[in-house]
Amino acid sequence: MPFCSAETAAQFSPPAGSWALLAGVVQPKSRGRIRLTGANPRSLIEIEANTLAHPDDMKAAIACVKLCREIGNSAPLRPFGKREVMPGNLKGAALENFIRDAASSYWHQTCTAKMGHDAMSVADGSLKVHGVIIFESLTVPLCRASHPATRWRLAT
């Protein structure tokens, strides 16, 4: 089963041997909220993701779907599939509904590698690892906008 939501799986019934292209909105303008539900510290919190609430985020998501469809239906990928399963040539509100049903959050850990001079450190403050200079997203204290799975590497 390709990566899809319960809603899109029910609507499109993708075959078990399917594959998917995924794209994401980087630096969304939509903002969610986290609220306390009570004074008790053990009370659950209320999370309102507010995903795709800003119109620019939906425009970006539509561009992502169009690009994925273009790539997925391109000549070099034709040998790997018989047909496009989803979303197909949806337009307007139907495409926006598909995007809302298919959307999910994603992340990739960055800035998690220990920096220092002890045995547990991966790099020092100059990003030197055993005499090699490495620039890698796991060692960077501030991550710039990019796809979360992006890795930057530069070695000398």
Residue pLDDT, tens place only, 101-152: 998 887 766 666 778 888 778 777 777 774 555 555 555 555 566 655 555 4
Average of per-residue pLDDT across 36-53: 94
- Annotated catalytic sites, by residue? 108
Q: What is the pTM of this model?
A: 0.71
Within 10 angstroms of residue 38's Cβ, the number of other Cβ atoms is 9
Contact between residue 135 and residue 152 where contact means Cβ atoms under 8 Å apart: yes
Average of per-residue pLDDT across 68-89: 93
- Distance between start and end Cα atoms, the chain: 42
Q: Which of 59-68, 89-98, 119-128 has the lowest mean pLDDT?
A: 119-128
> What pLDDT shows up at residue 18?
87
Q: Which pLDDT band holds residue 4 (cuts at 50, 70, 90)?
A: confident
Q: Which pLDDT band holds residue 48 (cuts at 50, 70, 90)?
A: very high
Q: Which pLDDT band holds residue 1 (cuts at 50, 70, 90)?
A: very low
Task: Say how far apart CA 3 and CA 83 lie, in whole Å.
Answer: 17
Query: Sign of the CA dihedral 6, 65, 3, 33?
Result: negative
Contact between residue 132 and residue 138 where contact means Cβ atoms under 8 Å apart: no
